[in-house]
Structure 1
Amino acid sequence: MTASADFPQADHRAAAALCVLLGSPDDLEDADVRDQAERARDLLRSGAGADELTACYRALDTALRRAGDARGLVNESRSARVPGISHDIKVAVCPGPAQCTRVERARDLLPAPPCAVNGTRMRKRRLGPGQ
C-alpha cells in the first residue's frame, strides 16, 4: 500500500480531484469511497474549516487506496481531467512562411532556439493538450 498524500490546508488540487472523482461513477463503485467522497463534497458545500477538510481528504485518500486505486485522491492523472483546466506548455515553433513540424520545449527565461532554415529565432507559443 502506498503512502497517503500530504494535504496542505485548503488544498485546491484536492477539491479539483474530488470533482473529477464525483463525476466518475466507475471510481465510486466501492461504498466506502462513495461515502467518503460524498462527505467531502458536503463539507466543501457547507464551508467547513481547513482542518476538517484535510482530515476528510485523508480519509478519502485512504479509502481509495484500500479499494485498489493506487493514485489516491490527489494525483496528476486524476486532476489532469478536470473540465475547464488545461495544462499548456510553452514551445518554440517554426517562424517561417512554410511551417515545418519542428517543435521544441521553450524555457521562459531563455530565448527560443534558432531556426536554421529561416535564419531567425523560432517563435514561442503555448501548446495545449489537444495539439
Structure 2
Amino acid sequence: MTASPDFLQPDRRAAAALCALLGSPEDLRQPGIREAAERARDLLQSGAGADELATCYRVLDTALRRAGDARGLVNESRGGAAPGITPHIRVAVCPGPARCSRIERARDLFPAPHCAVNGTRMLKGRLGPAQ
C-alpha cells in the first residue's frame, strides 16, 4: 500500500500536480475527483491557509487512490518534475499569484499551455540554473 504524502505547508508540488490533473480530462472522469480537484483549485486561487489546503489535498489524494490511481496527487509522474532540462530551454511557467512548480516546454510558434489553477495561459520564459 502506498502512503499518502504529508502536506504540512502550501506544497508547490501539489499545486503543480493539481494543475496537471485539472488539465487531464480522463483523470477527472472518476466520481468525486473532479469535485475535489475543483475545490482545491478554488482554495488555492482564494489564498487559503496551509492547513485548509493540506486537508483538501489529502481528500483529493484519497479520492484518486480509491479510484485506482496509485500515484495519488503528488508523484513525480504528475506535475512539476522535468528531467533532462538544460538552462537554454524555453519553458512556460505558472502565471498566477498562487504559483506552482509546473514547468512545460514552450515552443515559440505555439501559445503557452493553459494553467488550470489560475484559469489563464502560462507565461513563457527561459529556464534558469536554479530551476
Q: Which TM bucket (shorter chain)?
A: 0.5 to 0.7
TM-score (norm 1): 0.61
Find the counterpart in structure 2 of residue 72 from structure 1.
72
Aligned-residue RMSD, C-alpha: 1.7
Find the counterpart in structure 1 of residue 83 from structure 2.
87
Find the counterpart in structure 2 of residue 56 from structure 1.
56
SS at match of 1:48: coil
Give, in whole Å, the separation in 2 of the partners of 1:13 and 1:51.
16
Aligned length: 86
Q: Which amino acid aligns with 2:33?
A: V
Find the counterpart in structure 1 of residue 18 from structure 2.
18
Q: How many percent of aligned residue pairs carry the same amino acid?
A: 72
Find the counterpart in structure 2 of residue 106 from structure 1.
none
Give, in whole Å, the separation in 2 of the partners of 1:79 and 1:8.
18
Q: Which has the higher helix share?
A: 1
> Where in structure 1 do 4 or more consecutive aligned residues deviate above 4 Å?
none
Q: Which amino acid aligns with 2:25?
A: P
**Structure with higher RCO (Cα < 8 A, 6+ apart):** 2
Structure number, greater radius of gyration:
1
Find the counterpart in structure 1 of residue 117 from structure 2.
none
